[in-house]
Amino acid sequence: MKYLLITITLFSFSSLIYSQEQENLILVTLDGVRWQEIFYGIDPNIIIKLEKTTNKIHGIDHYAEDSINSSRQNLCPFIWHKLNKFCQISGNRVHNNRCDVKNNYWFSYPGYNEMLTGKNDPKVNSNAKVYNKNKTILEKLNQQEFYKNQIAVFSSWEVFPYILNNKRSGLMINSGTNDTYNKMTGTSPLAPTVNNDSKIPRKDYRPDKTTYELAKSYLQTYKPKILFLALNDTDEFAHQGKYDEYLHSIHRADSILKDLWETIGTMDEYNNKTALIITTDHGRGYNFSGSWRNHGRSISGSDHIWYITNNSIPGIFGENKDPNQFFLAQVADQIKNRLLNKSK
């Protein structure tokens, strides 16, 4: 039975990639994850610096390079052992493969606005809970008959109803400490399928595991054509200067991706019809002077991001090492080009 399951899973990955029919979209964001960890795993320079201070580093030895795997493979085994066979992974600046934000602020609200509207609006310049005047690609899709009421958004950070302007857009958004979905269905989150839950004391935030369990339950019950899953543990722990917890959060996010992808692989509604996009809203500083903890216009490297997507063209998979320039604003067009042609 174990070998049969593996065969089915691999077939599901393959069918999702090679299809020219892209009726569905899975969009996942990992807030504030640097390209360095995605492509190289543990940053030894940060470890060395932290070990010289009072900061303690716990439980990260198994993310280090070993005789079998590189550090990036141990940190993100699903991305580098599975998705790289069916997705293109871009943003390794060592190869001059550059992914950047266009906005001038280099933090979350402006980043998500750029990602989802396809443009840099200089008036979007804070993380305040202000309803976005710009229409996102998700709102536009929700106005199309084919996708009307077929879009679900689950986010750990509760500012997304404002970024996506739920009052105007009519999108189904479950965000932060909002438990609307639980009350609506009369259920609680599913039993944990992702280990090592995190607890971060903030009123506008909930742990990623809770967000994912709610999203998975909704996905299996209602089968939306578009699911946007916005994770946030990574940014929270980085701001606290807890590099070990930041790494653990990346590893948990990789586990979430694995569980989500395997779940979709068992659902006929998504086979041969699903586009996948995984990215981040901004980067972070480099290791010097502890700037990896933060991001913003004054912190070099905060505009550097990365981008993962499946591709309907066979043979274009794995790490993209070609010199190239990609901007976060292009994500909206990527979604439009793969989905809007399905609208009737």
DSSP conformational letter for 118: S
Spatial separation of the C-alpha atoms in residues 264 and 39, rounded to whole Å? 26
pLDDT tens sequence across 90-110: 999 999 999 999 999 999 999
Residue 8: C-alpha distances to residues 66, 69, 267 (Å) = 30, 25, 11
Name the nearest CA neighbour of 213 among 260, 162, 281: 260
Q: What's the distance, CA 44 to chain centroid?
A: 24
Query: Is 17 strand, coil or helix?
Result: helix
DSSP conformational letter for 340: G
Task: Name the burial class of residue 87, with classes exposed (0-12), middle (13-18) and buried (19+) by CB atoms within 10 angstroms of its CB.
Answer: buried
pLDDT tens sequence across 244-294: 999 999 999 999 999 999 999 999 999 878 999 999 999 999 876 779 999
Give percent helix, percent strand, percent coil of the chain, each to the nearest 5: 40, 15, 45
Of the given ranges (23-32, 124-133, 197-206), which has the lowest mean pLDDT? 197-206
Task: Quickly list DSSP for 137-183.
Answer: HHHHHHTSTTTTT-EEEEESBTTHHHHTTHHHH--EEEETT--HHHH
Kindly state the tokens that stand for 103: 């906005």
**Considering the chain, what percentage of its residues have pLDDT values greater than 90?**
72
Q: Decide: 320 and 89 in contact? Cβ < 8 Å.
A: yes
Q: Decide: 118 and 136 in contact? Cβ < 8 Å.
A: no
Spatial separation of the C-alpha atoms in residues 39 and 72, rounded to whole Å? 6
Spatial separation of the C-alpha atoms in residues 7 and 9, rounded to whole Å? 5
The CB density around residue 123, as the number of other CB atoms within 10 Å, is: 10
Q: Decide: 276 and 338 in contact? Cβ < 8 Å.
A: no
DSSP conformational letter for 63: G
Kindly state the tokens that stand for 332: 């909206």
Spatial separation of the C-alpha atoms in residues 326 and 101, rounded to whole Å? 9
pLDDT of the residue at 48: 83
Check whether 313 has a pLDDT greater than 70. Answer: no
pLDDT of the residue at 57: 74
Map tokens 């990036």 to a residue: 72
Q: In the predicted model, what is the mean pLDDT of the chain? A: 86
Long-range contacts of 61-69 (CB under 8 A, 24+ apart): 63/247, 63/251, 65/41
- For the residues 65-84, what does the mean pLDDT come to? 95
Check whether 127 has a pLDDT greater than 60. Answer: yes
Q: Is the pTM of this model over 0.85?
A: yes
Of the given ranges (44-53, 78-87, 211-220, 226-235), which has the lowest mean pLDDT? 44-53
- For the residues 112-135, what does the mean pLDDT come to? 97
pLDDT of the residue at 167: 96
Check whether 193 has a pLDDT greater than 50. Answer: no
Band the pLDDT of 2: cuts 50, 70, 90: very low
Query: Is 306 strand, coil or helix?
Result: coil
* Residue, of 275 and 199, whose pLDDT is higher: 275
Check whether 202 has a pLDDT greater than 70. Answer: no
3-state secondary structure 123-134: CCCCCCCCCCCC
Q: What's the distance, CA 176 to chain centroid?
A: 16
